[in-house]
Amino acid sequence: MAFVIIFVVFLLISFLVQNRLKSKFREYSQETLVSGLTGAQVAQKMLEDHRIYDVEVVCVEGRLSDHYNPGTKTIALSEEVFHGASAAAAAVAAHETGHAVQHAQAYSMLEIRSMLVPVQNASSTILNTIFILSFLGGIIFNLFSYQTVLTIIVASYSVITLFSFITLPVEFDASKRALAWIEDNKIVTTSEQAMAKDALHWAAMTYVVGALASLTFLLYYVFQMLASD
């Protein structure tokens, strides 16, 4: 029952934060930047300003699907960001470009995060498998003892939690770089800068909620494991 309550609480918080982010993005997408630059142009200009010439800016489908892929060295911007010329588009484009700058400058936290990606993915797969087998008549407990299953869950959540908290400084740093650059280069006006900052704040909150949720579930299973000794 405790697990269900925790899950529902964080599901609700996550929904509220995501809804707030979407609302802010819609609001800050209404007014065109005084500079008139689109998200794609902002990203390209920021790359050139940092003398990064091996990263491509591409347009992808989906809403808020923007991301930087260090493997392919591509900044993928959603259509509304790629073509948009608003404070929201500029903020998101500069933020994702901030990750490319981190990559080019060998930002330590990004490198650590990248190294953990395979382990994090494996941990998520293990957890999903355990939960599926648990719901299917408790099959997992025919294969392993209860204590062993809890140990595996705690180990997996430890990796996921570590990954989540390492992600936070990576995201905050990318936003800091983005906001400083668009202000220094007069990409935005004072009022537009405030909009960009607020939009990135709510984007960052989604990662904060995710990290706190992961930590809470980890502690829950640690207590479960200790109680079962």
For residue 178, what are its two tokens? 């983005």
What mean pLDDT is predicted for residues 98-115?
Answer: 96
Residue 75 is inside which H or E element, if any?
strand 74-78
For residue 153, what are its two tokens? 């869950």
Rounded Cα–Cα distance for residues 95 and 174 (Å): 5
What mean pLDDT value characterizes the chain?
Answer: 93
Q: Which of 63, 29, 16 is nearest to 196 (CA)?
A: 29
96 is catalytic: yes
Among residues 27, 56, 79, 96, the one annotated as catalytic is 96
Q: Are the C-beta atoms of 199 and 185 separated by less than 8 Å?
A: no
Rounded Cα–Cα distance for residues 179 and 173 (Å): 10
Q: Residues 43-63: pLDDT tens digits?
A: 999 999 999 999 999 999 988
What mean pLDDT is predicted for residues 187-214?
Answer: 95
Domain extent for 117: 2-227
pLDDT band at 1 (very low <50, low <70, confident <90, very high): low
Q: Residues 115-147: pLDDT tens digits?
A: 999 999 999 999 999 888 887 767 777 777 888
pTM: 0.90
- Number of domains into which the chain is organized: 1
